[in-house]
Amino acid sequence: MKLSVSARAVAAGGMATALLLAGGAVADAASSAPSRAAAAPDIPLAGVKAHLSQLQSIATANGGNRAHGRPGYKASLDYLKAKLDAAGYTTTVQQFTASGRTGYNLIADWPGGDPNQVVMAGSHLDSVSSGPGINDNGSGSAAVLETALAVSRAQYKPAKHLRFAWWGAEEIGLVGSRHYVNRLATGDRSRISAYLNFDMVGSPNPGYFVYDDDPAIEKTFKDYFGGLGVPTEIETEGDGRSDHAPFKSAGVPVGGLFTGASRAKTAAQAAKWGGTAGQAFDRCYHSSCDTTANIDDTALNRNSDAVAHAVWELSE
């Protein structure tokens, strides 16, 4: 149910109180008035894949990786920042030092919305030094970027404030996201109503894993996949192994999606999701073969749409 949304839409139609029923229920609005906020748009897979091609080119031109402290990391960040600036975002580059090298987080705020209710979606943008990191984590980075660009194309005006983030130095211990959370004022932490994390969402032998954290966020993702008829499982390959962990530790409601890393797909999982039993979800995890060839398009497409669905639904 989306009572607050319906109430808002009805109020916008100028007939608020008359349609409010006892107990907070809302009658069906007149056929001429929309009764709920617009649904999330379909995120174009071609757009997400175009970002992955760019990240691959950046790695290739910079010694084969996009790792913390290496030129491919900053070039990746510059690519995203230019897209977000052109789309009307207010971007901030947050610097930190880790392992003796400068690291960077990229934060993009969509103007408007309630500053006391901030919905964040984020992904780590760094790769390991051994490869280009296209599934880990070009995939999440590109899905979040394309969702942010879709917000701009739709000129979406949610009730809550939207903030997107790309973290540096995840691969050396969640450094960028921890730095961001540690720098938040206590009051600002409590203003974040949700942090959604996307780290590896296009694994070539994919599973559909939903983080088992905040129940409302988890339900939002499960409902989306349920609507597609795609079964999901709870993520168990390593809770605390990605950038949601510092947010969770700070008391922020978190959630996210994951298509699997080095763990092997079971026969039962292959039966429901397809793919190859007994083989890793991502055989190129943390290696030089994590290229644009290391992506399952169907998984990337579904997860990108799920990112947008959750961003829209949770910010209404």
CB of 256 to Zn ion, least distance (A): 11
Given the complex with ligand TRP, which of 131 and 275 has the nearer CB atom?
131
CB of 185 to Zn ion, least distance (A): 28
In the list Zn ion, ligand TRP, none, the entry touching 208 (Cβ below 5 to 8 angstroms by class) is none
Given the complex with Zn ion, which of 237 and 316 has the nearer CB atom?
237
* Position among 199, 214, 243, 313 found at the interface with Zn ion (CB under 5 A): 199
* Position among 137, 177, 205, 220 found at the interface with Zn ion (CB under 5 A): 137
Q: Which stretch binds Zn ion (CB under 5 A): 135-143, 230-238, 273-281, 300-308?
A: 135-143
Q: Which stretch binds Zn ion (CB under 5 A): 26-34, 41-49, 90-98, 136-144?
A: 136-144
Q: Which stretch binds Zn ion (CB under 5 A): 137-145, 153-161, 180-188, 284-292?
A: 137-145
Q: Does 305 bind Zn ion (CB under 5 A)?
A: no
Q: Token match 């949770």: residue?
A: 314
In residues, how long is the chain?
Answer: 316
CB of 255 to ligand TRP, least distance (A): 11
Beta bridge partners of 257: 198, 210
CB of 42 to Zn ion, least distance (A): 26
Q: Does 243 bind Zn ion (CB under 5 A)?
A: no
- Residues 6 or more apart from 230 whose CB is under 8 A from it? 208, 273, 302
Q: What gap in Å lies between CA 85 and CA 118, rounded to an integer?
A: 20
CB of 285 to Zn ion, least distance (A): 9
Given the complex with ligand TRP, which of 136 and 305 has the nearer CB atom?
136
Helix 140-154 crosses helix 45-60 at what angle (to 10 degrees)?
130
Q: Which residues bind ligand TRP (CB under 6 A)?
A: 136, 170-171, 199-200, 235, 237-238, 241-242, 258, 261
Q: Which stretch binds Zn ion (CB under 5 A): 114-122, 146-154, 193-201, 219-227?
A: 193-201
Given the complex with ligand TRP, which of 74 and 124 has the nearer CB atom?
124
In the list ligand TRP, Zn ion, none, the entry touching 109 (Cβ below 5 to 8 angstroms by class) is none
Backbone angles phi, psi at 248, to 5 degrees: -60, -45
Given the complex with ligand TRP, which of 125 and 149 has the nearer CB atom?
125
CB of 191 to ligand TRP, least distance (A): 25
Q: Which residues are catalytic?
A: 170
* Position among 136, 218, 282, 290 found at the interface with Zn ion (CB under 5 A): 136
Q: Does 282 bind Zn ion (CB under 5 A)?
A: no
Given the complex with ligand TRP, which of 158 and 176 has the nearer CB atom?
176
Q: Do 35 and 2 form a contact (C-beta atoms < 8 A)?
A: no
- The three-state (H, E, C) secondary structure of 99-131, written as one string: CCEEEEEEEEEECCCEEEEEEEEEEECCECCCC
Residues at the interface with Zn ion (CB under 5 A): 136-137, 199
